[in-house]
Chain A
Amino acid sequence: MREELLKIIERNSRIDLKELAVILGVEEIDVVNELQSLEDEGIICGYHTMIDWEKTSIEKVSALIEVRVTPQRGQGFDNIAERVYKYPEVTSVYLISGGYDLLVTLEGKSLKEISGFVSDKLSTLESVLSTATHFILKKYKDHGTILTKKYEDTREKVSP
């Protein structure tokens, strides 16, 4: 039940517990216990809401930043990653294989704010060798959800 449960709430964390129990074919108490242990084990790390900020009047700019760094003896990339992820405007930090080391995603109010962060804070870190900043112009799909189009049922209404 664990995998099926996780897949359901990954898409819809607001689903009613009773309904969750029904569609999984188990008792409600089992769902409650399983969710509790998933939280305790740190498998469920949070319940977020997907927001398409584009559709609001609130100005937001996001960017992906490729960062090349020098790994430190005994620490690898962990130390530098931590220094980066502690900034609240940083929304994610991934260690990446290939042409650069860290992929940092960033959210800010304006281009200026983001470029300020990159030039003042990120590139001045000692082990940072170079950065390349890519601003996001449009989000088509995020977290498995298509943002640009709504599902439309185009089937015939009745068929054998």
Chain B
Amino acid sequence: MKDMLSKQAIGLKPSGIRKFFDIVSEMDDAISLGVGEPDFDTPWHIRDEGIYSLEKGRTFYTSNSGLMELRQEICNYIKRKQGVDYDPQHEVLITVGGSEAIDIGLRAVINPGDEVLIPQPSFVSYEPCAVMAGGVPVIIELKAENEFRLTAKELEEAITEKTKILILPFPNNPTGAIMERKDLEEIAEVIRKHDILVMSDEIYAELTYKEKHVSIIEMEGMRERTILINGFSKAYAMTGWRLGYACGPRVILEQMTKLHQFAIMCAPTTSQYAAVEALRNGDDDVREMCIAYNQRRRYLMNAFREMNLACFEPFGAFYVFPCIKEFGMTSEAFAEQFLAEEKVAVVPGTAFGDCGEGYLRISYAYSLDTLKLAIGKLADFVERLRQK
């Protein structure tokens, strides 16, 4: 058949992670620090609630937007954390992970040619989703000297007549960067001035190690122009349940719900019941996990200091993003050689955008024992490279 495939789909670059994954999967005895999901099991009481819902035969579709009970709990949660009100009836949509919310959120607002501002390094999905929505991705390269925060100046310089929406990915995967209140206030001012939208991906909101997470929706005039995305994967260690949500202005959510309805129908019912339990009784679990991540984060920062490896101190998510520019190798070459010689997998920074060149993403969603073992090998490797 001629032209069997979509040119747009073909045009998408395959994820840089995928390529690395293929190499690592070949090695049985490799230690991986390349995982983007918690090492904890979903807390038992949450799993139990999922099992219970199955036993009771709750195996049908829910409404397209998701269980009302869950939407209500999400509104309570955001009110509790951010002090902002959403209407569970019209302003919340339960999605299949945060990823779906990113996809349909962009499709709901983009017209052909609209520019989508994407700060990088960041999660791998924003750019392809923007393209498939008919938008034009415009990359903002975040800088180590700003601790990988987005500055008002960088934002201002990237905005054009065609700018439609800014994606705000903080706390950030892969850098671990966070945006504090003063940073967000400056961003909000630029956003209001240019009258553009924001998609704030706050999937790592619960995992911050400095001050409590602050959301852009708390800033004046931002709630009505922001699609807030969050989910259960990172905070409650529920990646495999595939459950996320979007909150935002009714007009946008109506369009998103329509897309969701036609493509997905509804998010998995079992997961939704489990998520209700997570929001009602999961605060302690989140706190415990957060404390454990913070201990590992401190361990890694100290280890980098001891091996003299440059790394800004990240205060969010569960990643550190050390700089390897001193070795004069590309991130990919470094990661591949490190894997080959020491059998430890880390992800090259370039998997998250070209400006990740010169950096590695190291995940600390691993036990301290695993980290110790792997970091010992990194120290040996770095030492060898320096002696050459």
Asked if chains A and B come from one complex, the reply is yes
**Size range of the chain A interface in the assembly:** 10 to 19
Smallest CB-CB A-B distances: 4 pairs = A23-B295, A158-B34, A157-B32, A158-B21
B302 interface hit (Cβ, 8 Å): yes
Which of B's residues lie within 8 Å of A, judged by CB?
Answer: 15, 17, 20-21, 24-25, 30, 32, 34-37, 39, 123-125, 173, 291, 294-296, 298-299, 302, 345, 347, 351, 368
Question: What distance in Å separates the Cβ of A151 from its nearest Cβ neighbour in chain B?
Answer: 8
Residue from the list A8, A22, A157, A160 in contact with B25, Cβ < 8 A: A157
| Bound Cα distance A57, B368 (Å) | 32
| Bound Cα distance A69, B3 (Å) | 87
| Bound Cα distance A160, B21 (Å) | 10
Is A19 touching B299 in the complex (CB atoms < 8 A)? yes
With A4-B291, A23-B368, A153-B39 in contact, do A159 and B298 touch (Cβ < 8 Å)? no
Question: What distance in Å separates the Cβ of A70 from its nearest Cβ neighbour in chain B?
Answer: 40
Q: How many A-B residue pairs have CB under 8 A?
A: 54
| Bound Cα distance A82, B275 (Å) | 48
| Bound Cα distance A140, B183 (Å) | 50
| Bound Cα distance A156, B39 (Å) | 11
Is B37 touching A159 in the complex (CB atoms < 8 A)? yes
Question: What distance in Å separates the Cβ of A18 from its nearest Cβ neighbour in chain B?
Answer: 9
| Bound Cα distance A78, B32 (Å) | 54
A25 interface hit (Cβ, 8 Å): yes
Q: Which residues of B contact A155 (CB under 8 A)?
A: 35, 37, 39
Q: A158-B32, A159-B35 are in contact. List 20 more A-B contacts (CB 8 A).
A: A8-B295, A22-B298, A22-B302, A23-B295, A23-B296, A24-B295, A24-B298, A25-B298, A156-B35, A157-B24, A157-B32, A158-B17, A158-B24, A158-B34, A158-B35, A158-B347, A159-B34, A160-B15, A160-B17, A160-B125
Is A160 touching B123 in the complex (CB atoms < 8 A)? yes
Question: What distance in Å separates the Cβ of B345 from its nearest Cβ neighbour in chain A?
Answer: 6
Q: Which residues of A contact B15 (CB under 8 A)?
A: 160
> Hey, what's the 0/1 contact readout for A126-160 against B, CB within 8 Å counting as 1?
00000000000000000000000000010111111
Is B299 touching A23 in the complex (CB atoms < 8 A)? yes
Query: Which partner residue on chain A sits nearest B299 by CB separation?
Result: A23
Q: Which residues of B contact A23 (CB under 8 A)?
A: 295-296, 298-299, 368
Q: Which residues of B contact A7 (CB under 8 A)?
A: 291
Q: Which residues of B contact A157 (CB under 8 A)?
A: 21, 24-25, 30, 32, 34-35, 345
Q: Which residues of A contact B123 (CB under 8 A)?
A: 160
| Bound Cα distance A159, B39 (Å) | 13
Query: Which partner residue on chain A sits nearest B17 by CB separation?
Result: A160
